[in-house]
A and B are shown apart, each in its own frame.
Chain A
Amino acid sequence: MKRFEQFSASDAISGPPSKADYWVDRSFRTVTHLCAWLILAIVIALLWQIGEKAIPAIRDYHLGFLTSAVWDANKDQFGILAEIWGTLYSSILGLIIGGFFGVVMAIFLTQDFLPPLLAAFFRTIVELLAAIPSVVYGLWGIFVVVPVLRPVANWLNETLGWIPLFSTTLSGPGLLPAALVLAIMILPTIAAVSQDALRLVPYRTKEAAYGLGTTRWEAILRVLLPTASAGIFGALVLGFGRALGETMAVAMLIGNSNQITLSLFSPANTLAALLALNFPEAGKVEVRALMYAALVLLLITLLVNMLGTALMHRTSKALGVKTR
């Protein structure tokens, strides 16, 4: 007993916080609190700054901006219908291709198709696809994708030219190369988010399906995919959002031509590409119109992304309750 009395209170490592500690704590909390507020403030500032800069153009062109397809800086006539069309067309095409490959890749990587080493190999490939910068894809598209596609496209145009999809030849840049590169660029997002959704499906659900005598693909198609469907849908929506906003590769490959066309091989334009290509050399009036276009793009992508985030949140919540 005596031994413990040798220690005085000042020797103890533990003790109540001092006044200084208290104030440091208070100020640290305040600083982090402010930083959290700042994230919110940034999003508001983003909307407000771009919105404010777009107001003159909104006043000048009203909603007619969205329904006119003329972009002529010399006559001060601006409209983005062709760009909206091109954005949606290329993104949907990219989503169909990239979505299919991304979801199959996610199934392939999560459902024990591969020995661990090969699975790691394919996982690395998908991750590396995401790491390559957009501008490098653009360069690759110009020098590899377009030359490879051109004979195929021109053959399709010759033989099946009566179908609107193939109604023009591919002279260089065009919708299809842009959409293909978009598909490659959104594949990693879709694969990663779908993998998360598939992993959330409780193991027992899958085992129950196997126990009933299903084949591997019956289990995947009838049990796994429906259970994870909301998450996979969320992945597709997020991939779509990414495709809508993707700039450089598309700007380099789509041909920057202000026209509304069904043909896969004709040049077109997207909102993001319009901004990237016209902003550096724009005069005062054109910058205003570009700000309006930026606002439209921002609102569309924010909407799509919020939808995707909300969907993912809902799946993990729904499945999270079930597993616990």
Chain B
Amino acid sequence: MTTRPDLLESMKGAKRFDLKRSFWEPRSLRSLLLSIGAWIVALIASVPLISVLYMLIVRGGRRLNWEVLTELPPAGFEEGGGFGNAIVGTLVMVGIGGLISIPFGILAAIFLAELGPDSQIANAARFCAKTLTGLPSIIAGVFAYAILVLVTGTYSAPAGGMALALLMLPTVVLTAEEALKMVPQNMKNAAFGMGCTHSQVVSKIVFPTALPGILTGVMLAVARASGETAPLLFTALFSNFWLFENGRAELMAPTASLSVLIFNFSGMPYENQIELAWAASLVLVLLVLVFNSLSRIIGRSRI
């Protein structure tokens, strides 16, 4: 580098640039104030969650015991009782929902990600799945009511499961598609080079590699479905009896679920029912959190 005396000369007269910003400058103060504001907002946003968890643990935990988990719901003025049948009902209906939506959703995702990603039907299906994520859960209930309850003439566990399946489907499809797309092209090329057909590549390479990602989505869908109430209100209704009685499953009859129990009991004037509603909420939140953390653990183990 050569020195430029002319340049240096011209800089002498100029004011020196100060690259430091004073702390007391209005701009800096404003920035600081806004940062403090952001902190306050974040702290306020955490209050509801902490309050919900506190109430669940204090009011729900007080009543939670073995009796509550294994007995049938009490009638209006009765003491004691529990919600064993509702736990079974929730698990059975989420199971039915999963049995319908998971295989179907994964197959559709395989088409969207691998077999025809740019086809018109793929674009349409993707758009529909995205739109379905925003479907009000009550509408899923109305739909299941229209196609199952009206046709079979009875409220039933399959109708509830069907409504849940409709809500699980978009989550399964969209997360599975993302997971399938993450599989490196090189691995697929290697398999194609060995003479695999496209479906062999999918079943032997793409699917196993993407499995953790797919399971993450599945667990999220299951978690969401187990907390749903609105789609069950008039598809499964509620029942004060066991789903499995004398070794036989009464699937085609009104079925209890934790969430509907919470809703029903929350409006009752009896202290016993309200305590049970809190205990059921605690169980339901624990159930949802278990599936949620499963999805996180599986997601983290992804390579």
> A-side interface residues toward B, CB under 8 Å?
13-17, 21-22, 24-25, 28-29, 31-33, 35-40, 42-43, 45-46, 49-50, 53, 100-101, 104-105, 107-108, 113, 122, 125-129, 131-140, 142-144, 184, 187, 213, 215-218, 238, 241-242, 244-248, 251-252, 272, 275-276, 279-280, 290-291, 294, 297-298, 301-302, 304-306, 308-309
Q: In the bound complex, do residue B48 and residue A129 qualify as a contact, i.e. CB atoms below 8 Å apart?
A: yes
Q: Which residue of B lies closest to A140 (CB)?
A: B52
Q: Which residue of A lies closest to B266 (CB)?
A: A139
Specify which of B35, B55, B134 is in contact with A241 (CB 8 Å cutoff). B134
16 residue pairs A–B, Cβ–Cβ below 8 Å: A13-B194, A21-B200, A33-B116, A35-B111, A39-B128, A40-B128, A42-B169, A49-B147, A108-B41, A131-B223, A133-B284, A213-B19, A215-B28, A275-B138, A279-B233, A301-B139
Specify which of B48, B195, B223 is in contact with A17 (CB 8 Å cutoff). B195
Q: Which residues of A contact B267 (CB under 8 A)?
A: 252
Q: Which residues of B contact A133 (CB under 8 A)?
A: 226-229, 259, 284-285, 288
Q: In the bound complex, do residue B21 and residue A105 qualify as a contact, i.e. CB atoms below 8 Å apart?
A: no
Asked, given contacts A101-B45, A133-B259, whether A280 binds B198 with beta carbons under 8 Å apart, the answer is: no
Specify which of B31, B108, B234, B237 is in contact with A32 (CB 8 Å cutoff). B108
Q: List B residues 117-141 near A (Cβ within 8 Å).
A: 121-122, 124-125, 127-139, 141
Q: In the bound complex, do residue A275 and residue B48 qualify as a contact, i.e. CB atoms below 8 Å apart?
A: no
Q: Which residue of A lies closest to B231 (CB)?
A: A247
- Within the complex, the shortest CB–CB distance from A275 to chain B, in Å, comes to 5
How distant is the Cα of A241 from the Cα of B262 in the complex, in angstroms? 25
Total residue contacts A-B, CB cutoff 8 A = 259
How distant is the Cα of A4 from the Cα of B131 in the complex, in angstroms? 58
- Within the complex, the shortest CB–CB distance from A107 to chain B, in Å, comes to 7
Taking A133-B228, A136-B262, A143-B274 as known contacts, 20 extra A-B pairs with beta carbons closer than 8 A to each other, sorted by chain A number, are A13-B194, A21-B197, A29-B115, A39-B129, A42-B128, A108-B39, A128-B49, A131-B292, A132-B288, A133-B259, A134-B137, A134-B228, A135-B262, A137-B52, A247-B137, A247-B229, A294-B139, A301-B139, A306-B131, A309-B127
Does B289 sit at the interface, judged by CB under 8 A?
yes
Q: In the bound complex, do residue B136 and residue A32 qualify as a contact, i.e. CB atoms below 8 Å apart?
A: no
Q: How would residues 140 to 168 of chain B score, 1 for a CB under 8 Å from any chain A CB and 0 otherwise?
A: 01110111000000000000000000100
Q: In the bound complex, do residue B259 and residue A135 qualify as a contact, i.e. CB atoms below 8 Å apart?
A: yes
Specify which of B139, B199, B203 is in contact with A50 (CB 8 Å cutoff). B139
Q: How would residues 7 to 47 of chain B score, 1 for a CB under 8 Å from any chain A CB and 0 otherwise?
A: 00000000000010100000110110011011101101110
- Most chain B beta-carbon contacts within 10 A, residue among A127, A213, A246, A247: A247
Q: Which residues of A contact B107 (CB under 8 A)?
A: 31-32, 35
Grouping DSSP codes into helix (H, G, I), strand (E, B) and loop, the B interface class, with mixed when no group exceeds half, is: helix
- Most chain B beta-carbon contacts within 10 A, residue among A241, A276, A301: A276
**Number of contacting residues on B, CB 8 A?**
91
Asked, given contacts A142-B266, A215-B27, whether A33 binds B111 with beta carbons under 8 Å apart, the answer is: yes
- Within the complex, the shortest CB–CB distance from B153 to chain A, in Å, comes to 14
Q: Which residue of A lies closest to B121 (CB)?
A: A36
Q: Which residues of B contact A53 (CB under 8 A)?
A: 146
Q: Which residues of A contact B203 (CB under 8 A)?
A: 28
Asked, given contacts A43-B131, A131-B292, whether A29 binds B198 with beta carbons under 8 Å apart, the answer is: yes
Q: How would residues 51 to 95 of chain B score, 1 for a CB under 8 Å from any chain A CB and 0 otherwise?
A: 110011001000000000000000000000000000000000000
How distant is the Cα of A295 from the Cα of B274 in the complex, in angstroms? 34
Q: Which residues of B contact A139 (CB under 8 A)?
A: 262, 266, 277-278, 281
Q: In the bound complex, do residue B121 and residue A33 qualify as a contact, i.e. CB atoms below 8 Å apart?
A: yes
- Within the complex, the shortest CB–CB distance from B187 to chain A, in Å, comes to 15
Q: In the bound complex, do residue B169 and residue A32 qualify as a contact, i.e. CB atoms below 8 Å apart?
A: no
Asked, given contacts A108-B38, A125-B49, A136-B262, whether A309 binds B130 with beta carbons under 8 Å apart, the answer is: yes
How distant is the Cα of A175 from the Cα of B46 in the complex, in angstroms? 22
- Within the complex, the shortest CB–CB distance from B31 to chain A, in Å, comes to 4
Asked, given contacts A36-B125, A38-B108, A39-B129, whether A132 binds B49 with beta carbons under 8 Å apart, the answer is: yes
Q: Which residues of A contact B199 (CB under 8 A)?
A: 24-25, 28-29
How distant is the Cα of A320 from the Cα of B194 in the complex, in angstroms? 35
Q: Which residue of A lies closest to B124 (CB)?
A: A40
Q: In the bound complex, do residue A301 and residue B49 qualify as a contact, i.e. CB atoms below 8 Å apart?
A: no
Q: In the bound complex, do residue B142 and residue A50 qualify as a contact, i.e. CB atoms below 8 Å apart?
A: yes
- Within the complex, the shortest CB–CB distance from B254 to chain A, in Å, comes to 10
Q: How would residues 260 to 273 of chain B score, 1 for a CB under 8 Å from any chain A CB and 0 otherwise?
A: 00110011000000
Q: Which residue of A lies closest to B110 (CB)?
A: A32
How distant is the Cα of A16 from the Cα of B260 in the complex, in angstroms? 56
Asked, given contacts A187-B45, A247-B138, A275-B142, whether A305 binds B131 with beta carbons under 8 Å apart, the answer is: yes
Specify which of B35, B131, B173, B227 is in contact with A136 (CB 8 Å cutoff). B227
- Most chain A beta-carbon contacts within 10 A, residue among B27, B108, B122, B137: B108
Q: Which residue of B lies closest to A27 (CB)?
A: B199
